[in-house]
A and B are shown apart, each in its own frame.
Chain A
Amino acid sequence: MRQMTFAGGVHPPDQKQATAHKPIEDCPLPAEYVVPMAQHIGAPANPCVAVGDRVLKGQVIGEARGFVSVPVHAPTSGEVTAVEARPHPAGSSLPAVVIRADDEDRWQERPAVEDLAALEAEDIIDLIRRAGVVGLGGATFPAHVKLSPPPEKPIDTVILNGVECEPYLTADHRLMLEEADRLLEGVAVLQKIFASCRVVIGIEENKPDAIELLNQRCSGRDVEVVPLPVKYPQGAEKQLIKAITGREVPSGGLPMDIGVVVQNVGTTAAIADAVLRGTPLIERVCTVTGAAVREPKNLRIRIGMPVAHLVEACGGIDEDPGKIILGGPMMGIAQVDLAIPATRGTSGVLLLREQDLPLRQEGPCIRCARCVQGCPANLLPTTIAAYGRLDRMEEAEDYRALDCIECGCCSFSCPAAIPLVQTIRYAKAAIMARKRSG
């Protein structure tokens, strides 16, 4: 009996106890929203409003550019006060549309769809694209692209990713518990696109209540619920596919190459809203937590809300945070301050205290191979990093640096506190730059 897991991986402390039992709360609305045009993988949207324009909630304020791109919508009704570069979670200043909210919070008209069966797959995918649905697991890949595999790549398995393997984050967990209806509507939509596919919801065993609930709700619906052993990064797409189907996504390839499509449970719920209710993606669930936050919560937030506002909604901070992280602690991006907006990809805001931070000095590599044991891609991180440091990028590429998924298992395990992920990222960037320049 094949074990439902993958090789490698680590076991960081769960840290979900602060918010796992807290129902989702609506975040109070701020006075101003800063909506970045780049909230997804692919070409950023082009602003299509000007200063002084009045916009309605859900109105398109940024048009998609090209196929791998999605439109961006206004998170509330109000007046556009600026269209300019603003600080972005990615680390630089990028174009954004700033909206001063009026008190009405009025929706633009949203056409509802009565009969899902009447829609063709193409129409469904178009609705998804126009709603700006992107992967809410953190990668923010445009959903309509994922759901449009070419005909020569038939799909036989659809996996819903309810794993949420990052420590601290509980947004998907609460969504599965409280909004199972939306989730299952989304599953129905996916089943319409990919007829006669095996549909599986993967959930880590540390969420027994969600597993039980979905098991009940899914009986008779042709949807399997598969509990998975708790190990980071079980929620990484390739590792999830391996655990559930035993297949490996080929190096340099995509899940569709082996007949699989994976969607985060939050994305699936957003798909339901987009297709059945004409609702664009302007809100999501986000876990605001960490020892520096007074009242950690699972908030329903809207894109463009200042992160400082989210933290205020959680009682503010007791002390200055040692680190501000957007996302989870293993793959999230550290921020310089709270003056950045939340985006479609903001699954978590993590404020760690200085005393919780690993602040050790780097030491020499003792070749203990813990990084090798932990790597879910079966690489030799210590060797890749060693070559990367010496600027020997050809050898680094030969040791398959480009297959690294940057999950952080290696740096997490390294007793010498070597910045392995940073070094391998550096090597990957150098290798890609060399490839581009020929």
Chain B
Amino acid sequence: MEYVVKPTNRLTRFLDRIPVLGEILHRPLGVLGFTIVLLFVVVTIFAPLIAPYKDTKQDFSAIFQPASQNHLLGTDNLGRDLFSRIVYGSRIEMAAALPSVTIGLSIGLLLGLLAGYLGGWIDNVIVVLLDSIQAFPSLVLALAILAVLGPSLTNVIIVIGFALIPGYARVTRSQVKSVKNNDYIQAEYNLGASTGRIIVMHILPNIIAPLVILVSMDLPVVITFEAGLSFLGLGVRPPSPSWGVILSDGFKYIFNSPWPVMSAAFALILVTLGFTLFGETLRDVLDPRLSGTEGS
């Protein structure tokens, strides 16, 4: 493959080397999405260094402050610095989103592979199972489970992870079914390859792209879902600065100050937008039908 040599700085040149990322960064929306996602990750990792205050530090001399130099996003009803709470809150969002997506992906992938590759009655059973999970609206399901288990971050993760399984399983199943019928799988089989080898070496690499895309587009959904549950008081408990908690607390005092609601909502919108743009660009880049060439 030839590269057109452009006068770029070393960072861009370095990023260009990473195959998929380079492609993403050639699209304006991809750059925007990637920047936001990167920002979000940096903020979660370095939260204590970025936040000017401790997230639970109260200051009754300065409640309902609007944005100022001391408090970038103002303060809430207990005088806590909203910017610091949002920054620390990102850690909770990440802590909720990553494990639950991992649960959904791993169980869904396994079920999808089994159903798609083996077919027959196993396929039927798994499909019925997935249909039954999806038959319940996920919010109702979540409310029911949380009512039994009690509200906590761990339970939220379990509930969301469970609700994500059908999506991943379905995508995996349909992908496996179409990839399985390709001649290269038969060629492999004809060379005497074992089922395990065929699945790991040939089916997985060819179905992974849509799953990666699904993950990147699911992350913001999970974050809003967690925020929603916390808003309803079923998720993370105050005083932990989950964005949902900030929203629900701020809601009570919306006439005293709009800043808590506004800052949490803004953070949510930004992260959702970032991941969605990133995911969509990723889809365009990875989908060979759209880009024509891949790999390289």
A binds B: no
Chain A residues in contact with chain B, CB under 8 A? none
Chain B residues in contact with chain A, CB under 8 A? none
